[in-house]
Amino acid sequence: MSRVIDADAHVVEGASIAGEALKRWPDKMAFRAEEGGRGGFFIEGRRYPEFEGPGAGCPPEHGMTTATEIHPHSVDGMLADADREGIEKMVLFPSLGLAVPSFTDLTFAAGFAGLYNDYIADWCKQSGGRLYGMAVVPIEDVDASVGLLTRAREAGLVGVCVPPALRERNLDHRDLDRFWAAAQDLDMAVGVHGAPGVHLPKIGVDRFDNYIQVHCISFPFDMMTAMTATVTGGVFERHPRLRVAFLESGVGWVPYFLDRLHEHYEKRGSWIADGWKREPREYLDRGQIYVSCESAEPILPGVIEVLGSDFIMYASDYPHWDGEFPESSKPLRERGDVDEASRAAILGGNAARFYRLS
């Protein structure tokens, strides 16, 4: 039976980290009760997540799965949930921590990132080698981010998550090259992970204020933006050992979008100075591009036929509302239209290689 590694699960930052953050930065953070019994975090005076207005995020009371007997608030509970799903290892991304790149006070952002990274490193150390953490960094401050990345590696974290686009820059901005170089030299995976409602650029979703409409658009548009920047802007060319995963958008968009990038490279690639130097497909073939999938995606066999299976990783999105826990891996385990070698690669082999897991 194939090993199962969850390439994109989430920790729900509990009272321990929230309480410590409120104590350390009372001028930056607050928890406020609102009408209708809702409560919310306000950071630098802004609500997180912002669930009203253009690009609305998820109302916090609706963010979690409705699956019964779920225990994401302790290490033992999370491991029991993993056993229930048949997952050997889980790579944990943040929930609230995804907002760190949006903080405007960079000293505060670096301090919060350090607090989160220590928290998730300690969480994973209690798991007996089954849980692995992704660091957060205030990527607008490259110096601080490189230092935090180094410390995160020393603490045992396996990668770092970044937003699809920064407040005023894209991921190919040359100011970020030292960050990409550090991730490459430290052999740390990079996960591009969007999140609506956290005061980062609203790519295409500013026309909608209904969260479900926003959710339909935000994740794939985010990933197309990030892939455009990293591929065409030369990030993979300048850092040939860098590994980046484009997450939580499925895999069906990838053949279409790589073909679209190919057409532009072929016909007008020279218009991007100091950018891509080869066919976009080559960055995938040499192991720099990974993407997560959903187990039941109907287009999955077609993607494998066109691009192969070595870049696709199973992800549960545990314990968020749009995952299929405790049966998120079941369709992939059982479907008959995926060959056994591809099944094994997607369920665990590719994630083990991407995150450097034994």
Contact 22, 29 (CB under 8 A): yes
Q: Is residue 62 in some structural domain?
A: no
On whether residue 336 sits in a domain, the answer given is: yes
Q: Which two tokens stand for residue 229?
A: 């920047």
Q: Residue 218: pLDDT above 80?
A: yes
Say what percent of the chain tops pLDDT 90.
89
Task: Name the 3-class secondary structure at 289.
Answer: strand
Q: Does 58 fall in a domain? A: no
CATH number, domain of 212, equals 3.20.20.140
- Banded model confidence at residue 336, pLDDT cuts 50, 70, 90: very high
Confidence of residue 206 (pLDDT cuts 50, 70, 90): very high
Specify the pairing of strand 159-162 against strand 131-135.
parallel
- Percent over 70 (pLDDT), the chain: 98
Whether 32 is in a domain gets the answer: no
What order of strands is seen across the sheet that includes strand 39-43?
29-33, 39-43, 46-48
Task: Give the model's pLDDT for residue 312.
Answer: 98
- Identity of the amino acid at 81: D
pLDDT digits (tens, 9 = 90+) for 117-149: 999 999 999 999 999 999 999 999 999 999 999
Mean pLDDT over residues 208-221, rounded? 96
The phi-psi region of residue 71 (left if phi > 0; otherwise alpha if psi is between -120 and 50; otherwise beta) is beta
Predicted TM-score of the model (pTM): 0.96
- Establish if 37 belongs to a structural domain: no
How high is the pLDDT of residue 36? 61
CA distance 261 to 271: 13
The range of the structural domain enclosing residue 179 comes to: 5-13+67-355
* Mode of pairing for the β-strands spanning 5-10 and 89-93: parallel
56 touches 197 (CB < 8 A): yes
What pLDDT, on the 0 to 100 scale, is given for residue 1? Answer: 65
CB 291 within 8 A of CB 311: yes
Domains in the chain: how many in total? 1
pLDDT of 155: 98
Average pLDDT over residues 152-163: 98
Residue type, 138: P
Q: Enter the tokens of residue 190.
A: 């990079």
Identify the band that residue 83 occupies on the pLDDT scale cut at 50, 70 and 90.
very high
SS3 143: helix
| Average pLDDT estimate for 169-195 | 97
Residue with tokens 């005076």: 45
pLDDT, greater one: 2 or 315: 315
Q: How many CB atoms lie within 10 A of CB 123?
A: 20
Helix (H, G, I), strand (E, B) or coil at 145: helix
| pLDDT exceeds 60 at position 343 | yes
What is residue 331's predicted lDDT score, i.e. its pLDDT?
Answer: 95
179 — phi, psi (to 5°)?
-70, -50
Whole-number CA gyration radius for the chain: 19
User: What does the angle CA 319 – CA 325 – CA 331 come to, to the nearest 5 degrees?
Assistant: 140
Average per-residue pLDDT for the chain: 95
pLDDT interval class at 17 (50, 70, 90): confident
Chain segment 24-78, per-residue pLDDT in tens: 999 999 988 776 657 788 999 999 999 999 999 999 888 889 888 899 999 999 9
Residue 41 covered by a domain: no
Per the domain annotation, does 99 fall within a domain? Answer: yes
Token match 């699960």: residue? 9
| Residue 22 included in any domain | no
Question: Could you give the CA distance from residue 284 to residue 19 in angstroms, rounded to a whole number?
Answer: 42
Banded pLDDT at 263 (limits 50, 70, 90): very high
Helix spans in 186-234 (H): 211-232
- Name residue 51's amino acid: F
Amino acid at 241: R
Element (H, E) at 159: strand 159-162
Helices (H), the chain: 15-24, 75-85, 106-125, 142-154, 177-185, 211-232, 235-238, 253-268, 280-285, 300-307, 330-334, 340-344, 350-355
